[in-house]
Structure 1
Amino acid sequence: MAPAPPGSQAAPLPSNLPFRLVSKTIGQGAYASIRKAVPLNAPKPVIAVKFINKEHAFRMGRLGPKQLKMEIVLHQHLGKHHNIIQCLASGEDTIWTWIAMELADGGDLFDKIEADEGVGVDIAHFYFTQLISAVSFMHSKGIAHRDLKPENVLLSGDGDLKLADFGLAALFKKDGQLRMCNTVCGSPPYIAPEIVSGRRSKRRDLLDDGYAANICDIWSCGVVLFVLLVGNTPWDEPTQQSEEFREYVATNKQTTDPLWHQLPQDMLSLMRGMLEVDPNQRYTLEQIRTHPWFTRRNPYLTSSGKNANPVGLATQMLSQLRIDFSQPPSASQRGFSQDSDAMDIDSAPHRSRANPTNINMISSTQPETPIADTPFDWERPPRLSSHDGISASQPSEHNQRPSYATQQPMLSQFPSSTQDILSQDPSLTQFTTNPSVPMTLTQAARHFKDVLPSYSLARFLSPLSLSALIPLLTDALHNLGIPSTPAAEEQLAQWERDGEANLRVKMADGRRQGLNGHIVIERAIIGMDTMTEVRFVKASGDPLEWRRFFKNVVCCVADVVVRPN
């Protein structure tokens, strides 16, 4: 087989790597993918390796050789900090640049936060404290992150925050001298207003007058804290085009927005200080660290700033993930036909809770069978391995699925052996009326990841066959404003024989930011039963928006989702 063209993400990876790759893709960006690796002659430690296709990045993206080199130099310059992903090594060949990093084996923080709900005061305070610790350390090294947002906040296996992705990082201080930045970059809901509103007379991506990147990071930290507390952003972008931001400015921060009324009263001065429109008046890191709300006692925080109760924290967060089947799905997403660039500032985004009819875009959702050389090459969640009693297989006579055409499939309807296996599945807890974490998940747990796994819980099981379930999923997408082509009977029959298929989804979230990924549909043998597992795998975009999308689809097909009793 001839090698793929160098501009393709399918180009063969370097063959002379100083480590051994041990996974498929575990993370992905516009021109990069991440895989796990181990030393050549040992099973540990497991690290993460980011592969960047240089020609694809230089030709299709805004990344140039200088920016790529700067990412590596600045990341290495940071050294080691408990709340920052450590850069271990880097290298390149003619096609790829690779960066070996510490593995965040707890997964994405915001995968584990309920959209529109948040995580409560203690957990929000815990993660905000660790975020400020990471940002303070970066700033002490003269480096600003410039892209602080949920996608870049990961977790260790014990649930401690790990700040990641330094592709937009900048040196704001060198040899004691402050330097202003001019590049327009960041994600609109989290970006500071001085970046968006700055004059751009020469180039769309360069400001005439620079901004202080470290002060912009403070603004982004404030938005992240807001999201931790309420599960939504305060606005879509900090401009007059956003109704929420316009009122925030007009009322001198005394907004009537109901989201602000969900914030603890004793931290409002801190929030308003970080979200001060005038960068010269914005809170400094020192003012944040000495604020009474910041210095409050926290049961999850040790004196050294680490997680004091990993299992308890994971248990509390898992119990807060809930899908309310009594609520109709809200179509806050709309499909669109081209990828969104995180460095572009959309002219008229809409907040995720805004009226979805304001969003008028075209979808490009296409069902397909996974093939080895397509961009979809994601790692299967480890819980689906055969030693857990779950495997992907062809159906046999003893495990033909029963019919649930007239009743809601409940876990109690399955044999006890199947119930025992699924009682270990944390994703099922989100489908109960009053979510609680079963003792079987916590009694033997020692780490955060033993209760809340690194992989996303955006998944469900159904007793329906693939050929019966896929049309329901495509109908759900259509009802949510993401039209997809119905599969022909021959295609459905082929997918049923293969035991797997996926729907590629490209859309805009409620704020008109890019949201892309796959809905993976696979046959699973669980104990003596055959089911269909549906996983929602985000490739790019805001994790909370992806969870909203998952919840909407699940509510559309609620009658065929397996639920606990």
Structure 2
Amino acid sequence: MIAHSQLAPLPNELPFRIVSKTIGQGAYACVKKAAPLDSPGPVFAVKFIHKDYATRHGRLNKKQLDLETSLHEYLGAHANLVQFFSSGEDYTWRWIAMELAEGGDLFDKIESDVGVGEDIAHLYFTQLISAVAYMHSKGVGHRDIKPENILLSTGGSLKIADFGLAVLFEYKGQKKLCSSSCGSPPYTAPEVVTCDHRVKKRLDQGYFGPLVDIWSCAVVLFVLLVGNTPWDEPLERSYEFSEYLKASGRPDDELWDKLSDEIVQLLRAMMRIEPTERMTLEDIQRHPWFRRQNPYLDSNGRLEHPVQLATQMFESMRIDFSKDPVLSQRSQRSGDAMDIDEIQSSRQNDSTDSRTPNNEIMFDWETRGHLSNGDLPAAANSAAISQLSWDEQLAEEPLCSQFSSTPRVPLTRTQFARQFHDIIPSQSLTRFFSFWSTEQLRNALQDALQKIFLLKSDGSSQVGSDEVASIRIRAMDGRNCPISGDIFIERLFGVEGQAHEVNFVKIKGDPVEWRRLFKKVVVLCKDAVFKPDQSIALLSQSSVL
């Protein structure tokens, strides 16, 4: 982790003005909202890349950074791609101005281990294939198709983002093989994972970028349908992948059993081990399941009925408090796989941790998603429900629906809903409200994390402020991929007694895995979580026991 004082400030002279704190960040880049200098809108997104850290820790040289910008610009406009606007740089930073996908992360709104209905999966799969087919028609392969890079527009349509690993595989009729191992193992094709080893033996051997994208699209479809990836990596040392090989694409696995024969046939054809035998994009678009009728698509393939779509997605988000989150884990991680770092801070004193596991560098700029001091939840600020009691106001907060025995879209949203974003908030749903004290929450959260990751408590951490505290998480997720983020415990003011928002903010990693971790922690801390079915009086009593 790099402290604020060690970072160069963002460029002073920019052709736009920053209008928000960080809305996304990673190992060497952050994303902020911006607007033109001379007008209040339109608002767009700007990705700032720290060139030195991208080179030293992201293994990206200047040529690769230039390629990301040039390929993104070259792709032009497509309904399912985040559109490029402009770019620039100074000695330290490179920036890319682009379309703002205000709907947020698609997979943040998909229940882990559950997925979405077949109609919604089909909708987003067809939009994904449309975007990839367009890219390939321009000779560009993405090579990093995964949930982290799939966003939503305000209208609910899919948008592919992040072209940092994109490659020009065909130019003026000449095709080019790739030779670098990249991407996220659960989503990438086997020839990519094993590429470095093969290339060392035969310099003329590599892989073809478009065929890798087809494999990744199949994994994304699988996750849409069941809420989990089929394996942690496409290598024989992975038990699930080994079973897939032995069973010739028909593994005896509960996840695959959830799928219809027609879908399994499509997935198997897209995930053939031999790349040249994989189904082409044209074949995918002719497949009966791809061409099926969909209530959310009109005759021209455009999204319709966005409110019904958002409602179905929203009401599928539910946390089952009766499940044991520890016993239900598919795999247990050793204690050294995770680092829980208590950050003791107040509003005036930021604190960072300089330790960096696995050579990963993460910036600690303004972290997205948590409330500013004095802010109230959206429902509390709404004039339509300002006369309600606090428990009624919180019950109308969209994020609270997932903790109800019967999830529902709050009445305050359904009354005037016209678009997708009127139902589903762009902010992450990995949050909850509590009437426990900061110290009680911190202890409960840390105990839960220790149970999940089998850690031993040293009992030494203390809370430094009654207003805000946070716990930093850096771990290997259930698929053995890096995941990191912060849990913010923040006081809500204007409430009788003590009330807090607990916000799980992902910095890096698969949003489905982050959602899964959130669910486990919430179930272990269920007594602290405000539920719409309960009253504030009961929660207030429990907080003083």
User: TM-score, structure 1 length as denominator?
Assistant: 0.86
Q: Give the Cα–Cα distance (whole angstroms) in 2 for the partners of residues 4 and 251 of structure 1.
A: 52
Contact 1:189 1:237 in 2 (8 A): yes
Q: Residue 78 of structure 1 corresponds to which residue in structure 2? A: 75
1:365, 1:484 within 8 Å by CA — same for their partners in 2?
no
> Amino acid of the residue matched to residue 275 of structure 1?
M
1:32 to 22, 29, 45: 29
Q: Conserved in 1, the CA contact under 8 Å of 2:141 and 2:168?
A: yes
- Show CA shifts across 1:137-182 (max 9, x none): 0001000000000000000001100000000000111001211111
The separation in 2 between residues aligned to 1:44 and 1:472, in whole angstroms, is 43
Distance 1:376 1:368, change over 3 A: farther
Among 435, 446, 463, the alignment partner of 2:407 is 435
CA distance in 2, matches of 1:168, 1:231: 25
Any unmatched runs of 5+ in structure 1? 333-352, 392-414
Counterparts of 1:214 and 1:37 in 2: how far apart (Å)?
33
Alpha carbons of structure 1 residues 386 and 321: separation in structure 2 relative to 1, 3 Å? closer
Deviations 1:451-470 (A, max 9, x none): 11111110111111112221
**Separation of aligned partners in 2, 1:111 and 1:79:** 27
The 3-state SS of whatever aligns with 1:77 is helix
1:230 has 2:226 as partner: yes
Residue aligned with 2:465, SS: helix
* 1:452 counterpart (424, 438, 452): 424
**Aligned amino acid, residue 139 of structure 2:** G
**Is it true that 1:519 corresponds to 2:487 in the alignment?**
yes
Residue 277 to residue 553, structure 1, CA distance change in 2 (3 Å): same
Contact 1:518 1:537 in 2 (8 A): yes
Q: Which moved more, 1:459-468 or 1:165-174?
A: 459-468
Secondary structure at the counterpart of residue 507 of structure 1: strand
Give the superposition deviation at 1:306.
3.0
1:147-546 superposed matches below 5 A: 147-198=144-195, 200=197, 209-330=205-326, 354-356=330-332, 359=334, 361-370=336-345, 371-372=349-350, 374=352, 375-380=364-369, 385-386=375-376, 388=378, 390=380, 416-481=388-453, 482=455, 486=459, 491-492=462-463, 494-496=464-466, 499-525=467-493, 527-528=495-496, 530-546=498-514
Alpha-carbon distance, 1:60 to partner: 2.1
Letter in 1 for 2:106: L
CA contact (8 A) 1:172 1:180 kept: yes
Partner of 1:341: none
Paired residue type of 1:364: D
Aligned partners of 2:375 and 2:493 also within 8 Å: no
Q: In the aligned structure 1, how far is the partner of 2:473 from the partner of 2:496?
A: 32
Same amino acid, percent of matched pairs: 50
Q: How far has the Cα of 1:369 moved from its partner?
A: 3.3
2:358 paired residue number: none
Residue equivalent to 1:141 = 138
In 2, distance between residues paired with 1:134 and 1:160?
11
For residue 238 of structure 1, report the CA deviation from its aligned partner.
Answer: 1.0
CA positional deviation for 1:120:
1.0
C-alpha contact (below 8 Å) 1:240/1:246 kept by paired residues: yes
Which one is further off, 319-328 or 250-259? 250-259
Deviations 1:469-502, CA, capped at 9 Å, x for gaps: 21111111111225565455xx43x411xx0011
Change over 3 Å in CA distance of 1:388–1:321 after alignment to 2: closer
In structure 1, distance between residues paired with 2:4 and 2:91:
14
How many residues end up aligned between the 2 structures? 510
Following TM superposition, by how much is the alpha carbon of 1:87 offset from its aligned partner in structure 2, in angstroms?
0.8
What is the distance in 1 between the residues matched to 2:163 and 2:402? 33
Q: 1-side partners of 2:401 and 2:302: how far apart?
A: 27
Q: Report the secondary structure of 1:476's partner residue.
A: helix
In the aligned structure 2, how far is the partner of 1:325 from the partner of 1:13?
44
C-alpha contact 2:24 2:368 (8 A) present in aligned 1: no
What residue identity is the alignment partner of 1:67?
Q
Cα distance between partner residues in 2 of 1:112 and 1:557: 21
Counterpart of 2:111 (choices 103, 110, 114) is 114
Shift of 1:194: 1.5
**Contact 2:369/2:428 (<8 A) preserved:** no
Any idea what the Cα deviations from partners look like across 1:192-250, whole Å, max 9, x if unmatched? 1122233626769x976111110110000000000000001111111111111112111
- Per mean C-alpha deviation after superposition, the further-off stretch among 90-99 and 192-201 is 192-201
Which SS does the other structure have where 2:213 is aligned?
helix
Report the residue type matching 1:495 in the other structure.
S
Residue deviations 1:486-529 (CA, integer Å, cap 9, x gap)? 455xx43x411xx0011111011011100100000000135545
Letter of the structure 1 residue corresponding to residue 340 of structure 2: T
User: 1:401: which partner in 2?
Assistant: none
SS of the equivalent of 1:259 reads: helix
Cα distance per residue 1:47-83 (max 9 Å; x no partner): 1100011112112221110100000000000000000
Contact 1:104–1:162 (8 Å) recurs in 2: yes
User: RMSD between aligned alpha carbons?
Assistant: 2.3
Within the alignment, does 1:96 sit opposite 2:66 as a pair? no
Kindly indicate whether the alpha-carbon contact (under 8 Å) linking 1:183 and 1:207 is maintained by their aligned counterparts in 2. Answer: no
**Within 1, Cα distance between the matches of 2:370 and 2:528?**
22
Structure-2 change in CA distance of 1:304 and 1:558 (3 Å): same
Q: Which runs of 5+ in 2 are unaligned?
A: 353-363, 382-386, 534-545
Go from structure 1 to structure 2 and tell me whether the alpha carbon gap of 1:386 and 1:562 turns closer, same or farther (over 3 Å shift). closer
Please give the secondary structure, in 1, of the residue aligned with 2:418. coil
Residue 45 of structure 1 is matched in structure 2 by 42
Q: CA 1:87/1:495 → structure 2, altered by over 3 Å: closer, same or farther? A: same
Alpha carbons 1:198, 1:208 under 8 Å: kept = no
- Does the CA contact (< 8 Å) of 1:331 and 1:552 recur in 2? no
Deviation at 1:186, TM superposition (A): 1.1
CA distance in 1, matches of 2:77, 2:207: 27
Aligned residues of 1:502 and 1:519 also touching (Cα < 8 A): yes
